[in-house]
Chain A
Amino acid sequence: MSAKTLYDKLWEDHLVHTEEDGTSLIYIDRHLVHEVTSPQAFEGLRLTGRQPWRPDSAIATPDHNVPTLGRAKGIEDPVARIQVAELDRNCEQFGITEFGMSDVRQGIVHVIGPEQGFILPGMTVVCGDSHTSTHGAMGALAFGIGTSEVEHVLATQCLIQKKSRTLRVSVDGKLGSGVTAKDIVLAIIGEIGTAGGTGYVIEFAGEAIRSLTMEGRMTVCNMTIEAGARAGLIAVDDTTIDYLRGRPHAPSGDRWEAAVKVWRGFHSEPDARFDREVRLDAAAIAPQVTWGTSPEMVVPVNDRVPDPDSEQDATRAEGMRRALDYMGLKANTPISEIPVDHVFIGSCTNGRIEDLRAAAAVAKGRQVADHVVQALVVPGSGLVKRQAEQEGLDKVFVDAGFEWREPGCSMCLAMNADQLNPGDRCASTSNRNFEGRQGKGGRTHLVGPAMAAAAAVAGHFIDVRDLQGN
């Protein structure tokens, strides 16, 4: 029998049944639930008289719609208020644990799942949210699903799937100083494209990936979906085990020892074969900035906006022209000459404590540039916020002219009041620069947290390494 990839192991461990044509029923260990993609699923259960198969497999929290200011007043938007109240009601009725809006453990689902130790190596994890790929950092098979599948998992604890192909992306060598996990994943997407991973599960490997902290690994896996792959994976190692030890939902005592023994097996065998391999040289990766309306439209900060006239493929060239028009940019403009008027630091990609520390280190002792209208810092969870405040990071940000907010998805998708206006240009640590993503007519440039803070204080994009004295 051929040597197994990590994905092979996870797939086989969860296989309940396979039909002749390969259509399979796979068992789901963990289900994260939020207010936007679940109400119709719970309604489906009610209409059919079905009950959740295993309520203890799920945790719920409101994150997409919650305000990041004046939370004590509740939610002003009546439509959003109903949706959050509906989540409360559904969790209550169906016996699902919820961290409600006033709970310190509330936050973005993909931040609180790992934070609570609710997601463990070897698990299958789903959520009605495409950034569920985040949890692959734990050596778990995690992917986003639609609302029909949310209902399917609630009712049956299973999903109907076919096995994906495997792609290994190896990032060899050491990252340069001032280059982060966000830059790695943006560089990967720039290399393989937003559809490069379609139909694959991606395993991230290589020295630069192994050297990342768990939070860095989560950033990389988070944006796997932006490369078209539903799931990203990273093998379990000491970094994984150290991160999980002592977390509220992680096992303890003898059970911990037994679990660790099993978890250590969650890696690809040395001679395992992948359907496709891609290699990147870590040393060649510089801080990245997106210039267009798709995450694959990305260049190093010291480069220029590309020219559609140099693009051979007509459909691509047309897409580039449309993107430049929407973004209000001219071809060949140096990235460092693009001014920004908004900055957003947060999201399930970059809203964790290490992200806030990296941004605060740049903001410390500096001031947000005069023409920057708004610079928001939105912690990924109540616990991240509390930790940051204990370290005095909130004060660093506020002193520098940033706004310090309550946790949630906020301006990553702008479902709450945190939105761009038409023509606003934002340096954002989020994951999508689609047209209108942060508000109709808003222009989003994706960057890492230190790069976002650097853009805030400089008033335009700047190589953060110049501020860090590298």
Chain B
Amino acid sequence: MDKFEKFTGVVVPLDRANVDTDAVIPKQFLKSIKRSGFGPNLFDEWRYLDQGQPDTDNSSRPLNKGFVLNDPRYRDGQILLTRDNFGCGSSREHAPWALADYGFKVIIAPSFADIFFNNCFKNGILPIVLESEYVDNLFRESDGETALELTVDLDAQTLTVAGGEKITFDVDPFRKHCLLEGLDDIGLTLEHSERIRAFEEKRRARAPWIFGE
């Protein structure tokens, strides 16, 4: 995984609560056996007027002009701003894969669904929980003639509006460390192999029915 570095990016305001992962990436794209290439189908049912299919060219499909990803102001956005309970529903990691593949590095919302929140960190995406009041302000500021830009500094845990205010945010220290260093969870866990084996032997003695004969 790439290291998460400080960057400045355009905020894309998606003003809906309870956005589910079926909406983030519809089911027909889950048939892929790859991790990449989901970006063009991110929010497919809202973004296009026709029905998308896997392994087809998306460049000539009719766009839903009213959808925020098709608004020229927010082209190449890297920060998604949204409402409560983002990422609810299915555990599909195709959702963060699609967001990352599109170019999103940060998602800001008042709250996230648990599984999605967890999946983000495994894919170099930083989900930031901000109080509704701040989120409301960012929505207002991102609706101007030009897009709002924010500088995200994970190390300092700050969001900075160009030439303006600085907002601090919380992040789990372990997850922050993993994102900043681009660490592989599996490698970290395997450093505990001896502990896992010792635990497993104790468990086998106590509950032998869990293990194969």
Binding site for B on A (CB under 8 A): 16-17, 19, 21, 23, 25, 27, 29, 36-37, 39-40, 43, 48, 50, 53-54, 56, 64-65, 77, 79-80, 82-83, 86, 120, 122-123, 128-130, 143-149, 151-152, 155-158, 160, 162, 194-195, 198-199, 225, 228-230, 250-251, 255, 258-259, 262, 294, 315-316, 319, 322, 413-415, 432, 434-437, 440
Question: Beyond A79-B31, A319-B17, is A195–B84 a contact (Cβ under 8 Å)?
Answer: yes
Closest 7 CB pairs of A and B: A56-B212, A148-B122, A146-B93, A251-B209, A39-B33, A146-B119, A144-B91
**A27/B31 in contact, CB under 8 A:** no
**Which A residues lie within 8 Å of B203 (CB)?**
27
**B23/A319 in contact, CB under 8 A:** no
Q: What are 27 A-B contacts with C-beta separation under 8 Å? A: A17-B192, A21-B174, A25-B189, A36-B30, A48-B186, A56-B212, A120-B210, A122-B207, A129-B90, A144-B115, A145-B118, A146-B122, A147-B93, A148-B119, A148-B185, A155-B189, A156-B189, A157-B196, A160-B189, A195-B88, A228-B85, A262-B206, A315-B17, A432-B22, A435-B22, A435-B23, A437-B27
**Which A residues lie within 8 Å of B32 (CB)?**
79, 83
Binding site for A on B (CB under 8 A): 16-18, 20, 22-23, 26-28, 30-35, 45, 51, 54-55, 83-85, 88-93, 96, 111-115, 118-119, 122-123, 172-174, 185-186, 188-190, 192-193, 195-196, 199-200, 203, 206-212
**A432/B89 in contact, CB under 8 A:** yes
Minimum CB–CB distance from A439 to chain B (whole Å) comes to 9
Closest to B118 in A: A146
A19 to B89: give the CA distance in the assembly, Å: 30
**Which A residues lie within 8 Å of B22 (CB)?**
413, 432, 434-437
**B122/A198 in contact, CB under 8 A:** no
**Which B residues lie within 8 Å of A37 (CB)?**
91-93
A53 to B188: give the CA distance in the assembly, Å: 15
Minimum CB–CB distance from A157 to chain B (whole Å) comes to 6
A16 to B195: give the CA distance in the assembly, Å: 7
Question: Beyond A128-B91, A319-B18, A440-B45, is A83–B33 a contact (Cβ under 8 Å)?
Answer: yes
**B119/A40 in contact, CB under 8 A:** no
**A21/B189 in contact, CB under 8 A:** no
Minimum CB–CB distance from A423 to chain B (whole Å) comes to 13
When the two chains form the complex, which single residue of A83, A149, A225, A262 contacts B31, counting CB atoms closer than 8 Å?
A83
**B20/A432 in contact, CB under 8 A:** yes
**A230/B114 in contact, CB under 8 A:** yes
When the two chains form the complex, which single residue of B26, B186, B192 contacts A436, counting CB atoms closer than 8 Å?
B26
Question: Beyond A16-B192, A86-B33, is A440–B51 a contact (Cβ under 8 Å)?
Answer: yes
**Which B residues lie within 8 Å of A262 (CB)?**
206-207
**B35/A40 in contact, CB under 8 A:** yes
A165 to B90: give the CA distance in the assembly, Å: 21
**Which B residues lie within 8 Å of A199 (CB)?**
114
Minimum CB–CB distance from A92 to chain B (whole Å) comes to 16
A19 to B85: give the CA distance in the assembly, Å: 28
Minimum CB–CB distance from B128 to chain A (whole Å) comes to 16
Closest to A250 in B: B209
**Which B residues lie within 8 Å of A86 (CB)?**
33
**B54/A436 in contact, CB under 8 A:** no
**Which A residues lie within 8 Å of B92 (CB)?**
36-37, 146
When the two chains form the complex, which single residue of B111, B122, B193 contacts A195, counting CB atoms closer than 8 Å?
B111
A77 to B22: give the CA distance in the assembly, Å: 20
A149 to B185: give the CA distance in the assembly, Å: 9
**A149/B122 in contact, CB under 8 A:** yes
**Which B residues lie within 8 Å of A258 (CB)?**
209
A415 to B30: give the CA distance in the assembly, Å: 8
When the two chains form the complex, which single residue of B27, B199, B211 contacts A415, counting CB atoms closer than 8 Å?
B27
